[in-house]
Amino acid sequence: MDYAATKRKRGLSQDRFSDKPASSSDSTIPRISRYPAAKVREFHARRRGFLRFRSLVRRPTPVLKKKTTKPTSVCCPNSKISHEANNLFGYKYDSSKPIHDEVIDLVNEDSSIEQAAQDDKEISVEKEYSSPCRARNDCYLRVPLIRRSPRLKKKRVEVSHELFIPLNEEEEAEVKSAFSVRNRMKVLVLHKNSGIEIRGETLQCLKPCAWLNDDVINLYLELLKERETRDPQKFLKCHFFNTFFYVKLTRPGYNYKAVRRWTRHKRLGYNLIDCDIIFVPIHGSAHWTLAVINKRECKFLYLDSLNGSDPTILNSLAKYLVDEVKDKYGKIIDVSSWDMEYIKDLPLQQNGYDCGMFMLKYIDFYSRGLGLKFSQTDMPYFRIRTAKEILRLQAD
């Protein structure tokens, strides 16, 4: 074999790291390649870039242990863990032991939490949060072990089934007909005791994405009182003020005389002071909230579906209760020891139009002596159910 052929054969291995392709190392030798020159230059450029990148990496290539068992925890580089962080993990840093940066094992990203938690049980550890793991060549590797909490199972809360009974086909058809355009101006129901009449356009506020109005709220409160009268053993003894009470009491300023006649025994048929709970709906500029006088527990409560608070409301009601007892019974009571609570642990609205519906459900659940076990997802059902109860003039 001649010299030129030998040099051409050795060109690829000897000139791999030169800036020129191997075939161009000798200009007198013709290029023999089945690939275009552009492809060859691109290949060598990529090769040089890879080799330069490897030259910058000063640590050895990680050695992966062959997987024979289930995946375990991820090992992170020790250089990124400070001494303070080690103390937080519960492992005392030992500077006398060399730190090995080699990755021993990997975790399959597709593995489930339960599988990873099961794998953690199979690993023998010396500490609760982290343990030194012996690696190759008598080096030590810190393996942070994240404590995996078991999945929390939601406690099943016993709530009365009748609070979430779905409507049957007949009831759904009745509500759908009441919401139709042809019944907008028609008087759908008339409540004789309160004189409240509900037209089709008034009931439209119970459709999705609508604000509740005074007539619907006040009629529903009347139905709740009638429900208590029908079955007094099942419900707490309550009084439901309408939506105009607080406005009369406080605007433009506090004025007990404006509402003095609202609670006469002749009008109510019972004494206000004998009630366990007194509900006061509050309407701000564009938001419904609820104030409660809980006489059984000597508390003033404020419930806002947006988690707000307004001390002036509860202070006004405390003053009203003192004036009411003094006017009707000639006694002076001291409410300075009563608690004023702004309830925070309660269902909250996730939009800008369900505040009135939340307020009605606060009243409904409290009047039953139940906790507030509902959420935003129940609001569409509660709207249709309330419309059905109003059309039949009977709260369930």
Q: Are 140 and 149 in contact (CB under 8 A)?
A: no
Q: For residue 42, which amino acid is it?
A: E
Among 75, 133, 238, 304, the one annotated catalytic: 304
Candidate list 100, 283, 355, 364, residue with the active-site label: 355
Residue 199, H or E segment? strand 196-199
Amino acid at site 85: A
Give catalytic status of residue 304 as yes or no. yes
Supply the DSSP string of 151-184, one letter for each residue.
PPPPPPP---GGGGPPP-HHHHHHHHHHHSGGGT
Spatial separation of the C-alpha atoms in residues 211 and 359, rounded to whole Å: 12
Place of tokens 């009268």: 229
Catalytic residue among 287, 310, 323, 378: 287
Q: Token match 């006088």: residue?
A: 293
Other beta carbons within 10 Å of 42: 12
Which residues, listed in sequence order, are joined to residue 291 by a DSSP beta bridge? 280, 302
Phi-psi region of 138 (alpha: psi -120 to 50; beta: other; left: phi over 0): left
Cis peptide before 232 (omega within 30 of 0): no
Q: Is 263 exposed, middle or buried (0-12, 13-18, 19+ CB in 10 A)?
A: buried
Say how far apart CA 393 and CA 76 lie, in whole Å.
67
Whether residue 75 lies in the annotated active site: no
Is the Cβ–Cβ distance between 192 and 219 less than 8 Å? no
Q: DSSP characters for 246-307?
A: HHHHHSSS--GGGGGGGG-HHHHSS-GGG-SEEEEEEE-SS-EEEEEEETTTTEEEEE-TT-
The set of catalytic residues is: 287, 304, 355
